[in-house]
Structure 1
Amino acid sequence: MKWMIISDIHGSYDDLKKVMEIYEEEKMEKLIILGDILYHGPRNPLPEGYQPQKVINLLNQYKDKIMAVRGNCDAEVDQMVLEFPMRGDYSELYADGYRFFLTHGHLYDETHLPMLHSGDIFMYGHFHKPVLKKENGIVLLNPSSISLPKAGQKSFGVYEDGELKIVTLDKKVLQSMKLS
């Protein structure tokens, strides 16, 4: 099982296209989107390649592979054009004996966690900064932003066989962690 975890696309078709090429090359099985899909937001500059309609068309091709949560820049109208659910504030996945809690990061973050247990994995975006660490038995993963990173390079997350990674768009592994 191999998942790609992305966040904070903010309407950047160019960056999404690059990420989806990697998704295909690496034969990923699931695409997890941690919010802020189409709109750049009032605090962010327009990302390079800002073309939300092309982002819609590209993502809809993968609708059966996507699990997404709502970000603070996502709106109800976005759901009218995206063919996969993305309006929930959080979602949970269970795989390989682990519980993955997915959220954007504007309601829950590493300083305000939901009810989690030791061994759970908390995945969030919003801050546009890569994080991969374990605190109090809980693994925290923020893959950063694929379009507007605030620290470091554009990056995404990968989960495969009990290991999490943060990887740049040029496929350089920034961090990795085995879960057991």
Structure 2
Amino acid sequence: MRYLIASDIHGALPAAEMLVARFREEGADRLLLLGDLLYHGPRNPLPEGYAPAQVAKLLNGLADRITAVRGNCDSEVDQMVLNFPCLGDYALVVDERTTLLLTHGHLDLAAAVAGLPAGSFVLSGHTHVKGIGPEAAPAFAKGIAAARGTSEEEGAGTFAAPAVTFVNPGSIGHPKDGSASYAIYEHGTVELHQL
């Protein structure tokens, strides 16, 4: 399977339109959304083209191909306008023999991450900064170190298992590293792409 992974749309219609176009161009089988879909949150300025109702309508056109999790800006009100589940704190997707844990990244899921099989991927957004590797999941470092019974310093950089890969696709609607981005997963590999 080929998955397009995106996070943090924050109601930005132009970015969501580009995302849907890229989903089709990439020939992806499913769209994995890592939260913060419609609302911009009180800490963020309004994104360009802020139109959450239109973003919901656009995403609803792909409802049968979306797997989504709840971000810290998502709520029951958002679920009322979306035709796919979006309020789970995390979801597991199993592709062949590879487990993908989807989460927004704002919750401590250290125990769940520590229990993943070798070769798994932890997909999270929240920071609006793209990356692959331990730096892609700073919110997990302390909790995973605690789950392993090590100090935060000892746990830094090693995480739950060396064979678990952390991926942050960055942000579609509010990038904090200069460019909107997403990730593509296929056959056990992940690549980051500019939107």
- Do Structure 1 and Structure 2 share a fold, with TM-score over 0.5? yes
Q: CA deviation at 1:113?
A: 4.4
Within-5 A mapping of 1:1-180: 1-108=1-108, 113=113, 115-133=115-133, 135=158, 136-169=162-195
**Does the aligned pair in 2 maintain the 1:129–1:150 contact within 8 Å?**
yes
Change (3 A) 1:105 1:114: farther
Distance across 2 between alignment mates of 1:2 and 1:98: 13
Change (3 A) 1:82 1:45: same
**Does the aligned pair in 2 maintain the 1:69–1:104 contact within 8 Å?**
yes
Distance across 1 between alignment mates of 2:19 and 2:35: 15
Q: CA deviation at 1:109?
A: 6.9
Question: Which amino acid is 1:80 matched to?
Answer: M
Distance across 2 between alignment mates of 1:120 and 1:159: 12
Other structure's SS at 1:107 match: coil
Q: CA deviation at 1:115?
A: 3.1
- The structure with the largest helix share of the pair is 2
Larger Rg, first or second structure (1 or 2): 2
Distance across 2 between alignment mates of 1:29 and 1:50: 27
Q: CA deviation at 1:96?
A: 2.4
**Does the aligned pair in 2 maintain the 1:7–1:125 contact within 8 Å?**
yes
Q: CA deviation at 1:86?
A: 0.5
CA offsets per residue over residues 95-139 of structure 1, 9 Å max, x none?
Answer: 1210110000000378x9453332111000000011112652110
Question: Which amino acid is 1:105 matched to?
Answer: G
Once superposed, what is the RMSD of the aligned Cα atoms?
Answer: 1.6
- The structure with the largest strand share of the pair is 1
The answer for the alignment partner of 2:145 in structure 1 is none
- How many pairs does the alignment contain? 168
Other structure's SS at 2:63 match: coil
Q: CA deviation at 1:9?
A: 0.3
Structure 2: any 5+ residue segments left out of the alignment? 135-157
**Does the aligned pair in 2 maintain the 1:108–1:114 contact within 8 Å?**
no
The percent of aligned pairs where both chains have the same amino acid is: 45
Question: Which amino acid is 2:26 matched to?
Answer: E
Please, what TM-score do these two structures have when normalized by structure 1?
0.88
Structure 1: any 5+ residue segments left out of the alignment? 170-180
